C-alpha cells in the first residue's frame, strides 16, 4: 500500500464522532470574466455514497452534469453562492471567494457540524467549526461533490453569457485566459461581465470605456 497516497475521507460522518461534514469548494477564481461560484454539500450520515465522485476538473462535462443531478437528489443539504463581477472588482477575488464560502456554510449550517474547505485557508466569521483541506477535492467526497456543483453551475452561467456576447467564445473557454479569449479582448474590448480588476482585462478597458462615453455624448 502506498502510504503517501491521499486517503479518501468520510464525506458524511466521522467514524468516531458522527459529525456531519459540509464540503465546500469553488469554481472560477482564475477567469477573466464571469462570477466566482462556491458550493457546499452535506450528505446524509450512513447513506451509501454516490459512485464516481472525483475532482470536477478530472471529469468530462457530461459526467459532471449527471453527477450534479444525483448530488442534488441525495444530499441532506446543498447550496450554491454566485459572487458577481462587481463584487469581485470591489473586494478582490480572494475576499469575494471568502464571502461566497461564508454564505454557503451559513446556508447549510443547520445540517452541519464541521465544514471542510478545499484549500489552505478558512474564512473568518464562520458559524461552525471548519477545517482547510489541501487538495480536498481529491480526498473528500463532500468536497468533490461541492466542486462538481460549483463547476457545473458556473459553466451553465457562462454558456448563457455566450448567448449575449458570442464574440468572446465564453461557451468554449468559460472566461479563462485562453489565446482565443485574449484575442477577442484585444479586438472587442471587455464586456460588462469582464473583471476589470484583472490585468489582462484592464489593459483593454480604457479604449472600450472611451468608446462607450463617446456613444453617450
Contacts of 15 (CB under 8 A, 6+ apart): none
Contacts of 128 (CB under 8 A, 6+ apart): 22, 105, 109, 112, 113, 114, 115
Establish whether 113 is an annotated binding residue: no
What is the distance between the alpha carbons of residues 53 and 117, in angstroms, rounded to a whole number?
17
Burial of 19 (0-12, 13-18, 19+ CB in 10 A): middle
Establish whether 25 is an annotated binding residue: yes
Phi, then psi, of 212 in degrees rounded to 5: -65, -40
Establish whether 118 is an annotated binding residue: yes
Strands 21-27 vs 114-118: parallel, antiparallel or unpaired: parallel
What is the distance between the alpha carbons of residues 129 and 107, in angstroms, rounded to a whole number?
14
Strands 129-133 vs 75-83: parallel, antiparallel or unpaired: unpaired
What is the distance between the alpha carbons of residues 109 and 79, in angstroms, rounded to a whole number?
11
Return binding residues for a divalent metal cation. Answer: 25-26, 118
Return binding residues. Answer: 25-26, 118
Amino acid at each position: 500500500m502506498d502510504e503517501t497516497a491521499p486517503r479518501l475521507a468520510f464525506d458524511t460522518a466521522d467514524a468516531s464522532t458522527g459529525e456531519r461534514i459540509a464540503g465546500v469548494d469553488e469554481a472560477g477564481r482564475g477567469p477573466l470574466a464571469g462570477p466566482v461560484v462556491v458550493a457546499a454539500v452535506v450528505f446524509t450520515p450512513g447513506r451509501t455514497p454516490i459512485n464516481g465522485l472525483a475532482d470536477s476538473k478530472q471529469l468530462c462535462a457530461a459526467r459532471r452534469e449527471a453527477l450534479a443531478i444525483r448530488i442534488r437528489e441525495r444530499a441532506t443539504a446543498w447550496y450554491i453562492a454566485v459572487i458577481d463581477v462587481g463584487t469581485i472588482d470591489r473586494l478582490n477575488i480572494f475576499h469575494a471567494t471568502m464571502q461566497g464560502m461564508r454564505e454557503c456554510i451559513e446556508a447549510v449550517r443547520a445540517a452541519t457540524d464541521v465544514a471542510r474547505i478545499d484549500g489552505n485557508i478558512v474564512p473568518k466569521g464562520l458559524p461552525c467549526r471548519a477545517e482547510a483541506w489541501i487538495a480536498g477535492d481529491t480526498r473528500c467526497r463532500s468536497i468533490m461533490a461541492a466542486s462538481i456543483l460549483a463547476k457545473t453551475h458556473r459553466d451553465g452561467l457562462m454558456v448563457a453569457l455566450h448567448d449575449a456576447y458570442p464574440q468572446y467564445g465564453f461557451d468554449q473557454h468559460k472566461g479563462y485566459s485562453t489565446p482565443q479569449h485574449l484575442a477577442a479582448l484585444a479586438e472587442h474590448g471587455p464586456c460588462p461581465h469582464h473583471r476589470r480588476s484583472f490585468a489582462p482585462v484592464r489593459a483593454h478597458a480604457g479604449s472600450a470605456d472611451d468608446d462607450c462615453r463617446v456613444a453617450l455624448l
